[in-house]
Amino acid sequence: MAQFAAPLSAPTLESLGLGRDRPLVIVDVDEVLGLFMLGFGAFIAEHGYELRFERFALFQNIYRPGATEHLDLAEGRKLFEEFFRSRCDQLEPAPGAVAALNRLRPKAELLILSNAPADAERLRAAWLKRHGLPNALILSSGPKGPITSALVAQTAGKTAFVDDLIPNLDSVAEHSPATATFQHVADLRLRPLAPRSDAHPRIDDWTELGEAIERAIR
C-alpha cells in the first residue's frame, strides 16, 4: 500500500518466463492478492502497537495502545521495512484470488507487480509459490504506469492491470491507456475507506473480478 521512490526499468517478458503472443494481466499483491493489513497488524501487535482503521492509509493508522496520536511516521516505516524483511511471506491470500488467477492461467500471461522493498523479493517469491500463484514477479517502486507501459509494449495481446490504489491505476491509465484497469480492495475493514474512481471499475469479489478481466482481454 505504500509508495516508494522512482520506478524501476522493466525486464523483458522472456526473462520472466512469459510469452509475447498472449494477453498480459498484471496484478498487485498487498490488499489485492494478499491480506496485507491483517498480516501487518498481527506483526506490529507483537511489537506492542495496534492498527486502527481510521483512514485509507498505513503509517497514520499505527498507534501505541491508548494513544490519541499515531506513531511517528519514521518509526512506522521501520516496522514496515522489518515486516517485509522477515514476515511478508506470512500473508493470507485474498479470498478467491488463487482460484480466479488459476482460471485465468490458460487464457493469459500473469505477472505480479508489487511495490515493496527490494530485500522482500525472496520471501514474496516464496509466498507466491506456496499458494500456487504466478511466479513471474517484479518488485517495483513509485507509480506503476511507466513500468507497466514498458511491459505492455512487449506484448501483442490485450492487457489488464489490478491494484488497490487509485494513484497506481491512474498512472497506468495515463501511460498505457489501452490497458484495462480494475480496483480491488481485499480487506473488509478498508473497503469503506478506500477512494474510488469512475475511471476504474471497483470489484472487490475475486470471482467477479476474474470474470471481468477475462472479458477485457478476450
| Cα separation, 5 vs 142, whole angstroms | 5
* pTM beyond 0.75: yes
Fill in the amino acid letter for 199: A
pLDDT over 90 at 60, yes or no: yes
The residue that leads in pLDDT, 195 or 118, is 195
pLDDT at residue 5 is higher than 70: no
What is the pLDDT, as a whole number, of residue 91?
Answer: 97
- Average confidence (pLDDT) over 122-133: 97
Q: What pLDDT sits at residue 3?
A: 36
Instruction: Count Cβ atoms within 10 A of the Cβ of residue 197 and give its class: 0-12 exposed, 13-18 middle, 19 or more buried.
Output: middle
Q: Which pLDDT score, from 0 to 100, does residue 114 have?
A: 97
Which grid coordinates are listed for 108?
493469459
pLDDT of residue 6: 35
Q: What is the pLDDT of residue 105?
A: 97
pLDDT band of residue 84 (cuts 50, 70, 90) is: very high
- pLDDT attached to residue 193: 97
Q: Which tens digits make up the pLDDT trace of 142-190?
A: 999 999 999 999 999 999 999 999 999 999 999 999 999 999 999 999 9
pLDDT-based confidence at residue 101 (cuts at 50, 70, 90): very high
Summary mean pLDDT of the chain: 95
Q: What is the mean pLDDT of residues 35-50?
A: 97
Name the residue ranges covered by the structural domains of the chain: 14-35+91-217, 36-90
d(CA 185, CA 172): 17
The CATH number for 14-35+91-217, chosen from 3.30.830.10, 3.90.1580.10, 3.40.50.1000, 3.90.550.10, is: 3.40.50.1000
pLDDT at 7 over 50: no
What count of other Cβ atoms lies within 10 Å of the Cβ of residue 177?
10
pLDDT value for 9:
74
**What contacts 79, CB < 8 A, 6 or more positions away?**
43, 44, 47, 49, 62
